[in-house]
Amino acid sequence: MLLWRKFEEKCAALYIQQKIRGFLHLYNGQEAVLSGLINSIDIKKDKVITAYRCHVLPIAMGLHPKYVMAELFGKVTGSSNGKGGSMHMFSKEHNCFGGHGIVGGQIPLGAGIAFADQYNHNDAVTICFMGDGAVRQGVLHETFNMAMNWRLPVVFICENNGYAMGTSVQRTANHTDIWKLGLGYEMPCLPVEGMKPEIVAKELDVAVNRARKGEGPTFLEIKTYRYKGHSMSDAQHYRTKKEIEEYKNIDPIDYVLGVIKDNKHASSKEINNIQQEVKELVKECVDFAEASPFPSPDDLYKDIYEGPYNFIMD
Ligand SMILES: Cc1ncc(C[n+]2csc(CCOP(=O)(O)OP(=O)(O)O)c2C)c(N)n1
Ligand SMILES: [Mg+2]
């Protein structure tokens, strides 16, 4: 979690320096959700798909963070050879299926991945993340219906961070219990407190086991919070500084550090070493990205079609 936090804080600084351009949606504050998840799945076979707040997901799934940093720089050594960028982190080798910019677009894709695994008799579960804004897309209902009908091995997770861009959940819904959207499909569903990784892991264990046993999907609304703006150019007039501070008081990383110290799981020296290692790793990522070249103009015409159809313009 510390690596993810520091990696993204560095990304914010690099954005201001215009080393990273375009959009940049940061995950700071939401780390306990992903941390809990990683403890509940088998990253060697289970698959994860998410929206555009996706920089740290492939890192959690085992991709070296330098490839994510290079992708953010638009460099050829990036995870998508510099042609995906911030919103489209992808690593098939690490079962990370993106990185999707169309709000809600990944919901049916997640069910589709789960369908493929069921059809091919793979013992794998798909985790399909979405935001509180995405649950208002009609495609959620079509997907929930088919996923329940076919008992697909999928866990749908709504990361409710309170806002869709600058619009609060309260402003867009008659009732704010997002988890209840599962009830209409008799899909097991519940709200989960999302600032403590072990609580997330406990509920995900149940959901992932259910999917793996062939008993079908679960819908979890995990309540979390993002500290940064929606993207980098967000003046954040829709919330108060006090609200952000209240969540920082229950910060997941501070909380875990407290548990480690209280239970003497690690000495101060070991904790300092971890902090130092994280700092060095983030620096390694930036150095790697800086030193890498941009894609060549010819690369523009590659990776458009699968197979040999790599057009080179005269
Ligand atoms: C189909 C579609 N409509 C609108 C947008 C513009 N848009 C980008 S992000 C966003 C808000 C999504 O919020 P949420 O699902 O809560 O995710 P979060 O940013 O909080 O992680 C919107 C409306 C889009 N990308 N796609
Ligand atoms: Mg949101």
Ligand 1 atom nearest 103 alpha carbon: 26
Residue 96, classed as helix, strand or coil, is strand
Q: Count H helices, E strands: the chain?
A: 11, 7
Please tell me the predicted confidence (pLDDT) of residue 309. Answer: 56
From ligand 1's centre to the CA of 163, what distance in Å?
Answer: 9
Please tell me the predicted confidence (pLDDT) of residue 302. Answer: 84
Name 127's bridge partners: 48, 155
One-letter amino acid at 179 equals: W
From ligand 1's centre to the CA of 32, what distance in Å?
Answer: 21
From ligand 1's centre to the CA of 51, what distance in Å?
Answer: 9
Query: What is the Cα–Cα distance from 178 to 286, expressed in whole angstroms?
Result: 39
* Ligand 1 neighbour 24 (Cβ under 6 A): no
* Ligand 1 neighbour 164 (Cβ under 6 A): yes
From ligand 2's centre to the CA of 171, what distance in Å?
Answer: 12
Mark out the alpha helices in 80-196 (DSSP H runs).
106-119, 139-149, 169-172
- Whether the predicted model's global pTM rises above the 0.85 cut: yes
pLDDT < 70 regions, the chain: 307-314
Query: What is the Cα–Cα distance from 41 to 186, expressed in whole angstroms?
Result: 24
* Ligand 1 neighbour 28 (Cβ under 6 A): no
Sign of CA pseudo-dihedral 150, 202, 209, 46: positive
